[in-house]
Amino acid sequence: MEKIINNISEYLKKIKDKKPLVHHITNWVTIYDCANITRSIGALPVMAHAEEEVEQMVSISDALVLNIGTLTTDLVRSMLLAGHAANKKGIPIILDVVGAGATKFRTMKAKEILKNVKISVLKGNSSEIATIAGVESETKGVESISVKGDLIEIAKKLADAEEVTVVITGKEDIISNGKDTYVCKNGHDMLGKFVGTGCMATSLIGVFLSVEKDYALASAVALSCFGIAGELAAENSKGPGSYKNNFFDAIFNLDSELVSKLNKIYKIS
């Protein structure tokens, strides 16, 4: 198991120099935090969902983030329009299948997007990804309860079948494009104690997709940066209120030296 420490610092600089525009069609719960983490790492967020403008907006963007956290039929229609426009211009897309498995509607719409749009990164927690992979699992709202099967195998197989990079978040994050598989062990318990970390991690991956074409590597690095900020935030935190502020401060202040030293990305195949 080889630790990857190469060029994380380079990505941070690239993002700050390029200021990539990251178009989001996302949910109404964490929309602010998704925009704010994008800004905090040095990129530019734009949130736009009207079907009249999503194609034009994505066409001037460097990455597209789709998140079905509070999906409606209208919103998914805009996601499909934006997704097609992104595909035409080769703009990378991350799809977060929030709550897949919790309702038939979410599962169906997640699959509809995946079928009709060429997705770069498909992300979810273990039960959400298991649902998409057709593996038995239990989802409680938007939380994963249990999955039958080995997560690394599920990620690899789904990546192969859908020709997509699969990201399964959890205590350890798993990233696979079918060929290359990474495990990221950065993170902190407190990241599970407030709302929005899953969505923010998705947005951060969206940012990194715009500066690294190896989407599995980009996702692993993004999740490592996310987890490292989570580790740093724990100092001087008294609960989720102070922790969340410290987390945004830490994302903003991430520097190459710290990240090179603290990252726990392992390439396992």
- Contacts with a copy of itself by CB under 8 A lie at 19, 21, 23, 27-33, 35-36, 39-40, 44-50, 52-53, 56-57, 60-61, 69-73, 99, 102-106, 140-143, 193-196, 238-242, 244-253
Beta bridge partners of 93: 64
Nearer to a copy of itself, 6 or 245 (CB): 245
Nearer to a copy of itself, 35 or 262 (CB): 35
CA distances from 77 to 73, 174, 176, 238 (A): 6, 30, 28, 42
Neighbours of 5 (CB within 10 A): 15
CB of 48 to a copy of itself, least distance (A): 7
In angstroms, rounded to a whole number, what is the distance separating the alpha carbons of residues 215 and 123? 12
Nearer to a copy of itself, 61 or 263 (CB): 61
CB of 28 to a copy of itself, least distance (A): 5
Nearer to a copy of itself, 211 or 220 (CB): 211
In angstroms, rounded to a whole number, what is the distance separating the alpha carbons of residues 26 and 79? 9
> What single-letter amino acid sits at 95?
L
Residue 102, token pair as written in the block? 């919790």
Nearer to a copy of itself, 74 or 214 (CB): 74
In angstroms, rounded to a whole number, what is the distance separating the alpha carbons of residues 94 and 59? 15
Say if CB 168 and CB 2 are below 8 A apart: no
CB of 47 to a copy of itself, least distance (A): 5
Nearer to a copy of itself, 252 or 266 (CB): 252
In angstroms, rounded to a whole number, what is the distance separating the alpha carbons of residues 159 and 178? 5
CB of 49 to a copy of itself, least distance (A): 6
CB of 102 to a copy of itself, least distance (A): 7
The torsion angles phi and psi of 119, rounded to 5 degrees, stand at -90, 140
CB of 256 to a copy of itself, least distance (A): 17
CB of 63 to a copy of itself, least distance (A): 12
Residue 69, token pair as written in the block? 């956290």
Say if CB 24 and CB 46 are below 8 A apart: yes
Say if CB 266 and CB 183 are below 8 A apart: yes
Nearer to a copy of itself, 157 or 244 (CB): 244
